[in-house]
Amino acid sequence: MMTNREKYITKRNEYDLMITIYEAKNFWCPIQIVGGKKPKCLRRRNASGYPYSDCRNCIQEWLNEEVIE
């Protein structure tokens, strides 16, 4: 038997958890939601040249950064 804590938090990949937060909160910044300082958004352009925020790569980069205090 597994607890909700194990299923949804401790045994879950951090990136997947943050993407779930991102998608469930109408695309708010999950970095800011978990208590980090919101970074400047990574901006990309799609094939049509339309700019968009690349949140998935931003989350991945943030998770791999060293903490600066």
Residue 31 near residue 58, CB atoms below 8 Å:
yes
Q: What is the pLDDT of residue 35?
A: 83
Angle between helices 55-64 and 14-24 (to 10 degrees): 140
Q: Rounded CA gap, 31 and 24, in Å?
A: 14
Q: What is the pLDDT of residue 41?
A: 86
pTM, full prediction: 0.76
Residue 35 tokens, joined: 């208590």
Mean pLDDT per 10-residue section of the chain, whose length is 69 residues: 91 92 83 86 88 89 86
Q: What is the pLDDT of residue 14?
A: 93
Task: Point out which residues pair with 45 in neighbouring strands.
Answer: 51
